[in-house]
Structure 1
């Protein structure tokens, strides 16, 4: 078991944010909101705002509870499901190269890995209309209550749900499932002969100069200036234990694979989404496919494309992006459709108490407002 830290250590962390230009309106508006989230229990919080004219980045709290090292806006973190937007981009590039097709079935590309593999297409996987159950819980349980350094093979992750019934016929409904992207990652590797990380590096990270981003499957603690991640702990019945702060940084991340293995920074996410939405990574036809949405189970105003969420009725109108929540980290990033206005926030605490989540919601709302004010 990893050590436990009393949550009061986070509250005693440095409250003064590290900001660029403390007199800027973004700093004046967001500084107290970031401080409030740290006061609520988050070890650290970062924010990124591009209002179309200038970029502001700030951070509050600590990157490491034990040493007290302050969190920096440029620190790397585990980005969770923002990985899906990059994986979807790689898949669509392979579609453009005629090495995959949106109409390909799982069975055609991977064989009978599921009983209904011949009825689920690449498009169903990309937009979460496959009906395949989610495989996220067993790796998380292994992290908290088993061996956090267990190495998962993609085939094992699919096998976790292979005996479960399909939740609905493919294309008839929507349900978010990490298994979809496990299968897509396997298709990328099968069709290219390279690892998924190699393809993401070759097609996205290197061309865009994203030097602080990587997909390290078996690197327990990512290198460089990295924010450590924390979570409430769980008892033997898998109930959250209040007022605990467990360091869950060091683990093998192969259990997330194509669904959530990205390590990055706010600035690298901004550059990626700006390049994607401006047409640098996909042809106009494929970008249009990526922006073709279906309704989600999250209610009106939230749609899903191919690896992208669409948030309607924001201060910016429609915002496009993704988010990621995984043990130790929670983040959100979104852009206007032209990529000119962008907003992102991250905290190094997930699963977290309700007070932290509520404070982050307030911070996100204000950051969106500032991104679209100009």
Structure 2
């Protein structure tokens, strides 16, 4: 019997999703796209690259984008997709495809709320860095200073948690957790319950030894934010991150709360493998690692903010020093990708992906071209081992930024 497969870990930009992407800069970026995988989407070559390597969004180019998106949707069986692409000099393109609700035929549209899975990690780590800037915590503090009972808690630093180098077991891969979630996906979990599934396993390696994407790390950072910030995580995010950034359509929900209008989300991560609508499933199991809700407009703003630390009005959300720490990346097990503090860098694109039952997302920013890409879809079903959000990101960037093709092999992130 197939069990539900929580896939926050694959979100290496929300990344697993509950996954993207995504991004450390110190590791360097590629100047050319990766080899085309068998069956991957290819784009018709088009002239007219700008000096920054972005193709002008002419009617012909946007037509190519639309055709590529529809091709991926057919191949991967995705019901609905919204794509937003913004460049300062080459134009913008925002369009929805397919349906938000299979039962009614309601169309997908840009204003719909979506679950964003592991993109939540970028918000949780931003909250942590805000506390660093206020001298409430230090990145090299041991997590045991704030949370009791953590294996190696006197040695694992907050930096190692945010950079996925703690060595702690990922609770989402624990058989007991999977059974509990698949048997009742609407049940509520507490952070301590999630940690209990992780802490019954031995640590995988000494702190700092290597990269290993683990949602356990972000659950701990959420508790650190609560301890040092003095508020519940949802309140701290709202008051110290979302409001300053002007993100009034982004939420850390209480339980299964889901603002309307939202898209229904379709998943085969069920006990028997049947496709189900997961819109009312409770994302508390993902908490600080993947429970948040947002929409296209807010994610467009967030893409640049999280990649630069700068708000739309030119003021800073994060100090230059903390932003530099965020974007200092170390090697990962994922070809072509680096990971900083709760963020990926893939072929020059910075951000995160997300994957939660029924939903996937990708929010990335290309600093060299000041270009933003946001992809939102209402399915998390892989196509030949690759997440559909990655296929869509690859399809669009092959056309628009052929020197920076977003290619994130999801399975490479898994143990």
- Say yes or no: does 1:303 pair with 2:338: yes
1:179 Cα deviation after fit? 0.5
Give aligned pairs, total. Answer: 337
The C-alpha deviation readout for 1:54-88, integer Å capped at 9, x for no partner, is 33211111111111100002211110111111111
1:190 Cα deviation after fit? 1.1
1:359 Cα deviation after fit? 6.3
- Say yes or no: does 1:164 pair with 2:201: yes
The secondary structure found in structure 1 opposite 2:224 is: helix
The secondary structure found in structure 1 opposite 2:189 is: coil
Aligned position for 1:10: none
Alpha-carbon RMSD across the aligned residues, in angstroms, is: 2.3
Aligned position for 1:56: 93
The secondary structure found in structure 1 opposite 2:137 is: coil
1:295 Cα deviation after fit? 0.6
> Which protein has greater RCO, CA pairs closer than 8 Å, 6+ apart?
2
Native 8 Å contact 1:217 1:257 kept in 2: no
Q: Which stretches in structure 1 are left out of the alignment for 5+ residues?
A: 1-21, 313-317
Aligned position for 1:178: 215
Aligned position for 1:331: 361
- Say yes or no: does 1:43 pair with 2:79: yes
Residue 195 of structure 1 is aligned with which of 223, 226, 232?
Answer: 232
Residues of 1 paired with 2:113 and 2:61: CA distance? 22
- Say yes or no: does 1:132 pair with 2:168: yes
Aligned position for 1:267: 297
1:175 Cα deviation after fit? 0.3
1:148 Cα deviation after fit? 2.1
The secondary structure found in structure 2 opposite 1:81 is: helix
Native 8 Å contact 2:327 2:341 kept in 1: yes
Residues of 2 paired with 1:358 and 1:90: CA distance? 28
CA 1:366/1:168 → structure 2, altered by over 3 Å: closer, same or farther? same
Q: Which stretches in structure 2 are left out of the alignment for 5+ residues?
A: 1-56, 311-315, 404-415
Aligned position for 1:32: 67
Residues of 1 paired with 2:123 and 2:59: CA distance? 32
Native 8 Å contact 2:360 2:389 kept in 1: no
Aligned position for 1:116: 152
Residues of 2 paired with 1:298 and 1:364: CA distance? 16
CA 1:339/1:205 → structure 2, altered by over 3 Å: closer, same or farther? farther
Residues of 2 paired with 1:65 and 1:324: CA distance? 22
1:338 Cα deviation after fit? 6.2
Aligned position for 1:12: none
Aligned position for 1:365: 394
The secondary structure found in structure 2 opposite 1:161 is: helix
The secondary structure found in structure 1 opposite 2:151 is: coil
1:211 Cα deviation after fit? 1.9
The C-alpha deviation readout for 1:256-306, integer Å capped at 9, x for no partner, is 11000110112211201212333321111111011111111112x210000
Residues of 2 paired with 1:48 and 1:190: CA distance? 37
Structure (1/2) with the larger strand percentage = 1
Native 8 Å contact 1:232 1:352 kept in 2: no
Normalising to structure 2: TM-score of the pair?
0.76
Matches of residues 194-213 of structure 1 in structure 2 within 5 Å?
Answer: 194-213=231-250
1:371 Cα deviation after fit? 4.7
The C-alpha deviation readout for 1:193-221, integer Å capped at 9, x for no partner, is 21111111112221222122101031x25
The secondary structure found in structure 1 opposite 2:363 is: strand
